[in-house]
Chains A and B, each alone.
Chain A
Amino acid sequence: MNSAPPRAKALFARVAWRNLWRRRLRTWMSACGIGFAIFLVTVGMSWQAGTYDAWIDSATGLMSGHAQVQHPAYFDNPEVRHNLAEGSDLTNRLAGVPGVVAVAPRAEAFALVSAEERSFGAMVIGVDPVRDAALSDLSSHLAAGEYLPRLDSAFVGTALATNLGIELGDEIVVLGAAAEGGVGALVSRVDGLFETGQPEVDRSVLQVGLAAMQAGFELGDAVHRVVIKTRDARGVTGMRATLEAAMPAGGRLLDWNELLPELEQAIQIDRATAAMTYWLLLIVVAMSVVNAFIMTVFERTREFGMLLAIGMRPNSIIAMLTIEALCVWAMGTAIGIALCLAVVMPLSSVGFDISGIEGMDAMVGQLMMPERLYPALNVEVLVESPGWMLLGTLLAALIPAFRVRRMPVVEALREEE
């Protein structure tokens, strides 16, 4: 018997396409449902992407940078002796890595800070003011005075200054354990005060000049961190290999996910919460498409019976229904993406003022969110929900279509239309 295997045929597509317009309203309802779901999810996802970018920017921008090189033991055990000996060499090498925007070395110690009668424990950070200002915006939170104008200047958090009872121009003494086991000490003049709004930073951090810190704590050229800012925080994981190649003396490279685990966690939690909403939405829409297809298949039982009777294979009928589903999906995706672009494109350049939204002001302070949020469009955002919707639509079409496989031809033929 000469058997023609089922393959995609031009007339099948024509039948599929024209059938869509036989039930105009239903087709538009399905397409708009898919489009609306894709619109909501893509807008939601680009809002999220914008939010995370803002979180990452503000969290990494304060102090930690996108990545750091440290002594292998320093992260878990931050002792002064766990340092990187050739600080300036490492700094220069890292600065030469393509994609690196700024590099700043820091030497630091937990120390006792004293002024006249009072003393408080604080983290003393020696920085190169020019290099540090290029990747950390601590200097922009200036509350009074200047940011490290002299070699022996100190830049002190406002809360710490209040606790110590000091003002601009006062002298402070810093005492701590030096690298070689002796006593590290330095005297600085308070030339600037900062206020970040983050209590623990304002209460327990002061910055001094890197050279003064290295001299006072017997560090020589050694540093504790070399902080790196790259062109794109999200791309830093992909740069690990090139960065590590610029660290011949060894050391541990940590990216912001590791440096700020709570930030990564906040992002993951937010992502998971949103994903649940998206899934619900997509499933509800997919179910309505399933419903529409079940109706279609039931209404056309007689027609399918006739097609089976004249020798069409069930798989060919399923292929025809699949083309119908794909057309509905394509229409829905076009609608959804078009709406999304129309809404998000202007917002992604103009930004959206979130300071007025209730509840957001707390976030703005806590996570140091900017007052304007810029929703971010990217390939992932634009592809993910149409992709899932495609899967949903195909399932929606296939579930009822498989009825065709088990359809008794004779009964289908006897069915009244």
Chain B
Amino acid sequence: MVVECRNVSRTYDDDTVPVHALQGVDFQLGAGEWVSLAGPSGSGKSTLLHVIGGLDQPTDGSVVVDGVEVTTLTAAELSDLRLNKIGFVFQAYNLIPVLSALENVEFILQLQGVDRAERRSRSQQALQSMGIADLENRRPGEMSGGQQQRVAIARAIVTEPVLLLADEPSANLDTSTTRELLEVLQSLNRERGVTILTATHDPMVMGYTTRQVNLRDGSVV
């Protein structure tokens, strides 16, 4: 198992009424799967993704990623977990605006301490596999939304993570661009065996994933 969540709850207490974003979620994700978290807005998809990705701490329950219990890790250990084992793609603003596509991908390898030559070639390869090798010198502002998301995916997979997390990756894209993006993810999943967890309320995603998990009011239904 790449991910094992047991009885995970996340309650926000900061308002007068406590908000139960997740309530007793049990969830498993096997290697090579592409699972899509579905559910209406506010159902807890992002929260579950954040908890699995070590960005947020559950109020209760256990989360094991690649054999490591993440709820007991320190902030620095969580940082390293995210850097080395997880690739993130968000809805928007994924990239550093002042860096080119290639530099954005290289940036994460630099965080890992990979040397310059290897950084360069691996990043170019990643861009190539996303079909945007010719855009390597463009800055995010000079690319379309779909192109930016491809750069974000290239950055997420260049470190060869055990898990790719994508939160509404196609929310800002039109239908045909969304389809292209889903095809890219599908080929990553099928051909390279990348384990993927996406969150989306877009029904089009269903046709591409290996399994769908429905959330409603913070619970799996």
Contacts and interface: CB of A to CB of B under 8 A. Distances in A.
Given A22-B98, A311-B84, A11 B50 contact: no
A310 B82 contact: yes
A15 interface: yes
A311 to B, nearest CB: 3
A303 B155 CA distance: 15
A123 interface: no
A11 B107 contact: yes
Interface string B49-65: 01001011000000000
Interface majority SS (helix, strand, loop, mixed), chain B: helix
Contact of B82 (A22, A303, A311, A417): A311
A301 to B, nearest CB: 10
B84 A14 contact: no
Contact of A11 (B53, B88, B106): B106
Contact of A1 (B50, B55, B80, B116): B80
Nearest to A405: B75
A66 interface: no
Interface in B58-116: 76-77, 79-84, 86, 88, 90, 93-94, 96-99, 103, 106-108, 110-113, 116
B213 to A, nearest CB: 20
Nearest to B85: A1
A10 B97 contact: no
B111 A4 contact: yes
A4 to B, nearest CB: 4
Interface in A381-405: none
Interface in A1-58: 1-4, 7, 9-12, 14-15, 18-19, 22
A1 B81 CA distance: 8
Contact of A309 (B53, B76, B107): B53
A112 interface: no
B110 A310 contact: no
A252 interface: no
A312 interface: yes
B76 to A, nearest CB: 7
B80 A3 contact: yes
B56 A410 contact: yes
A11 B81 contact: no
Nearest to B87: A310
Given A310-B155, A410-B55, A413-B90, A18 B111 contact: no
Contacts of A311: 79-84, 86, 108, 111
Q: How large is the interface on B (under 10, 10 to 19, 20 to 34, 35 or more residues)?
A: 20 to 34
Given A11-B103, A14-B103, A309 B55 contact: yes
Given A4-B113, A303-B93, A310-B155, A413 B84 contact: no
Interface majority SS (helix, strand, loop, mixed), chain A: helix
Given A4-B83, A11-B110, A19-B98, A310 B103 contact: no
Contacts of B110: 9-12
B88 A310 contact: yes
A413 B90 CA distance: 9
Residue in A15, A303, A310, A410 with the greatest tally of chain B CB atoms within 10 Å = A310
B88 A313 contact: no
Contacts of A18: 98-99
Interface string B102-132: 0100111011110010000000000000000
B157 to A, nearest CB: 12
Contacts of B112: 4
B88 A22 contact: no
A3 B112 CA distance: 8
A327 to B, nearest CB: 13
A170 to B, nearest CB: 88
Contacts of B98: 14-15, 18-19, 22
A130 B90 CA distance: 89
A83 B109 CA distance: 81
A309 B97 contact: no
B2 to A, nearest CB: 16
B65 to A, nearest CB: 12
A409 B84 contact: no
Contacts of A417: 93
29 contacts: A1-B80, A3-B76, A4-B112, A4-B113, A9-B110, A10-B110, A11-B99, A11-B103, A11-B110, A14-B98, A15-B96, A15-B99, A303-B93, A303-B97, A306-B94, A309-B55, A309-B88, A309-B90, A310-B82, A310-B83, A310-B108, A311-B82, A311-B86, A311-B108, A312-B79, A313-B76, A313-B79, A409-B55, A417-B93
